[in-house]
Amino acid sequence: MSDAHLPIEVLATSVGAARLALAGGADRIELCENDPQGGTTPSAGTIETVLELAHARGVPVHVMMRPRGGGFVFDDDERAVMLRDLRTAVRLGANGVVVGVLTADGQVDRDLLAELVELAEDRSVTFHRAVDVAADIQVAVSTAFELGCDRILTSGGSPTAPEGAAMLARLVHQAPAGRVVMAGGGITASTVADLVSTSGVPEIHVSARGFQTTGASPSPPGMVGVTAGPTDAWPTNGWPAPDVDTLAAIRTALASQQMR
């Protein structure tokens, strides 16, 4: 597969964001909510609506299974919620699910992951960037593959995928045949071509963060904005969404690399 046709998965955190991801040519959508918390499970209504939009374009949707932010170690109640949410996503027609479950000592939660994979039936299962905070990323990736995940989303254990390119290359090399190591985290049009060339990843995951405003809407007293991250502030009259121009620039950068 040439770099020009390398699949691009795009993060969407709402129906509107999914529309923009599709307009930007997403090859697959990862659907979640609460991006500032690293993503949580979207509502059933959001899942169903995005599936209708994406499937009309022939684009698969993978749905995040995470009952809350704040880490990847879950108690019995949260585990039960994840299993119920996964059943719902499968029933609604999700093409895949995205999970990340660890134990308190930083290992993959083998029991919970095995349950999730079994309930996913024939759907694709991605183990997300929880591997980047595992005690040993290479062991975590091997375990996730062993238990039935067919894709790993990772930055190579670094803050961004470009910084983790060397580890990504090692993970690609260790992946069993037919399994995918997908790079995600801090990928931009200026870094994507070198990242793919250096690491050999066969897929990338991007957020292409932009912001859609909903018109003039005065903030409630004492609520100037909502903190989205260490340096970002989201006004109360809008919402985060992929930027179509940024997605186009990423595709152009990949195409240019392929033509060299």
Q: Quote the CA–CA distance of 183 and 181 in Å, as a whole number.
A: 7
Whole-model pTM: value is: 0.89
Q: 107-111, 172-176, 252-256 — which is least confidently predicted? A: 252-256
What is the average pLDDT score of the chain?
A: 89
In angstroms, the CA 117 to CA 147 distance is 8
Residue bearing tokens 């999914």: 18
What domains lie within the chain, and their CATH numbers?
3-215+224-259 (3.20.20.380)
Q: How confident is the model at residue 201 (pLDDT cuts 50, 70, 90)?
A: very high
- Please give the structure tokens belonging to residue 64: 């995040």
Per-residue pLDDT of 130-145, as tens digits, reads: 999 999 999 999 999 9
Give the separation between CA 250 and CA 151, rounded to whole angstroms.
22
What pLDDT, on the 0 to 100 scale, is given for residue 260?
A: 55
36 confidence band (pLDDT: 50, 70, 90)? confident
pLDDT of residue 219: 46
Which residues does 223 contact at the CB level (< 8 Å), separation at least 6? 236
Q: What is the pLDDT of residue 37?
A: 84
The C-alpha atoms of residue 45 and residue 52 are separated, in whole angstroms, by 11
* pLDDT tens figures, 240-254: 788 899 999 999 999
